[in-house]
C-alpha cells in the first residue's frame, strides 16, 4: 500500500511538473493535489511504520515547484497575440485581390449601383 501510494505520488508530481511548464500550466493543479494527497498518506503510513523514504519528500519538492511555476505563470504571463505580420500581410493581399474581383463582377446583376452606406 505504501509503495503504491509512493509511486502514485511520484507519477502525479512528475505530471504536474510537465503540465506546469507547458502552456496548460493551470491544469498542473489537478495532479499536484493528487500528488499531495498520495504523498501525505504515504508519509503518514511510513511514519507509522517508523521509516520515511526520501522519495516521498522528493515528491513534495516536485509538487511545490509545479505549484510555484503554475502560480507564477498565472500571475505574470501575458496572454497576447504576437507574430501577426503574416496575417496582416495576408489581409491586405486578399483585400486588394477582392477589390479587383469585385470590379470585374457584373454590378447590374448585383443591383447595388445605388448603394451607399448610411
Partner 1 sequence: MRLSVILLFLFTLFTNGQNTAIGTNEKLTYTASYNMSGILTDIAQVTMQTSSIKTSKATLLRLKCNAATYSKWDNFFKIRDLYESYVNPKTLTPYLYNRDINEGGYYKAMKYTFSHKTKTVKSVQTKKNNNVENKTISIGYGTKDIVTTLYHIRLFDYESMINGDRKSFTIIFDRAETKAQITYLGKETISTALGKKTCYKLAIGSSSNVLQGNNNNLLWLTDDANKILVYAKFKIPVGNGELKIKSASGLRN
Among 50, 75, 76, 118, binds partner 1 (CB under 8 A): 118
Residue 92 found at the interface with partner 1 (CB under 8 A): no
Among 21, 26, 47, 48, binds partner 1 (CB under 8 A): 26
Could you please report the per-residue DSSP string of 67-85? HHHHHHHHHH--------H
Contact between 18 and partner 1 per CB under 8 A: no
- What phi and psi, each to the nearest 5 degrees, are found at residue 17? -65, -45
Which is nearest to 55 in space by CA: 10, 12, 18?
Answer: 10
For cell 503540465, the residue is: 19
Q: How far is the CB of 80 from partner 1 (least distance, A)?
A: 6
Structural element, H or E, at residue 20: helix 2-21
Among the listed ranges 18-26, 34-42, 49-57, 59-67, the one in contact with partner 1 (CB under 8 A) is 18-26
Nearest of 8, 28, 23 to residue 68 by alpha carbon? 28
User: Number of residues in contact with partner 1, rule: CB under 8 A?
Assistant: 34
Contacting residue, 18, 24, 47, 48, with partner 1 by CB under 8 A? 24
Stretches 2-10, 34-42, 47-55, 92-100: which one binds partner 1 (CB under 8 A)?
A: 92-100
Amino acid at each position: 500500500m505504501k509503495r503504491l501510494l509512493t509511486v502514485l505520488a511520484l507519477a502525479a508530481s512528475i505530471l504536474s511538473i510537465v503540465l506546469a511548464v507547458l502552456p496548460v500550466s493551470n491544469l498542473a493543479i489537478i495532479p499536484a493535489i493528487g500528488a499531495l494527497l498520495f504523498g501525505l498518506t504515504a508519509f503518514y503510513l511510513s511514519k507509522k511504520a517508523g521509516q520515511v523514504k526520501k522519495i516521498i519528500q522528493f515528491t513534495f519538492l516536485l509538487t511545490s515547484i509545479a505549484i510555484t511555476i503554475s502560480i507564477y505563470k498565472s500571475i505574470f504571463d501575458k496572454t497576447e497575440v504576437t507574430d501577426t505580420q503574416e496575417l496582416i500581410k495576408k489581409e491586405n493581399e486578399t483585400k486588394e485581390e477582392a477589390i479587383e474581383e469585385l470590379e470585374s463582377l457584373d454590378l447590374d446583376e448585383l443591383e447595388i449601383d445605388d448603394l451607399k452606406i448610411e
